[in-house]
Structure 1
């Protein structure tokens, strides 16, 4: 066998091994690559679809920390499944279900929901506490909500346009409010963001809890500060 034929044989053999075939060219059992819509491994699905916004370990992401046991305690499987499948209106959370234009099947969404709950849901997290509900049908009073902000939030937050280098973050900055919906505001107020040092509805000391109506009114006030055209002003038309 000359050198050219020998090298060619080696290349063929390597190619067969690379694609999961044995020396006869038959596929090796278990080596077949799964179709993207057949992947149901939670870690793979979460890494590919969720970690970029919610954090690799469910915290320290730009979006809602799914690894917060308090958030998991006030929501449920239905809430999470609906958010994954249909997206969340008023936020950057897209719809992932195929029926809503996404790429994930119902089985894959179910695998994500079950994995999230198994990993981060702790049933006794808020046991025995008077927790405002995740959702409410109550009408919010924006005027009272501003008073709630002054009492519960002003020590850590400011209002108006966020200033560069400011020590306090603004909760009414137009860009912030343009990227978050009312339901997400409510969830953060109730469950907090422990990954960022943000307390839950009970306050930093845990001794000054907000009522359901307080939370509702606070969200109503923050929502009333949204701008129709957030960000830099558009240039005037000639």
Structure 2
């Protein structure tokens, strides 16, 4: 979903200390953190309308070493509080999506700028919250149309795939499942993606279920998070669902 056109792609992995449920604090360092990421490819057969098996085209892994006695592996930089590594690969896709080429780069570390972006973004979130809460299906369809059109293109949806997608998005004709209520926005933080061209608000209460997921959530028998990535076109003040 993140590949918008053919060419060289870069995958960057950032590692930070994990949360300790016993002490209810972040670990002081990365300790024995071990992270692996696989980039996989599946080809779609338009005749048979089926996907091929996944093929790993890139494997990334944090550096580890093996203990010759225990035969266990461990991270070679346990004292660090941050470790970043990346790798590149070439992707060939049959589409060229230019949306983010016309989006503002919003990334910043300035606290005042982050506060300003967050406040502006909350306006868009509140509008969507109302649509979900009041089950305004027609407005919901308008809201997600361009996003879903792009999704269908990137995932090579067939007609049957598109019908299944509608069933996933609407349960018994409802945006929010019967018996579920939209939750208020609280304990959240701003997060950047796509080199600052995509922004989102994520739930950020340490140690709680749903942390780092969309702050747009509902609660019933369980909790459900909803898609909420936004961009701001160049020369515009409006946040649009990506």
Using structure 1 for the length normalisation, give the TM-score.
Answer: 0.23
Bigger fraction of residues in helix: 1
Bigger fraction of residues in strand: 2
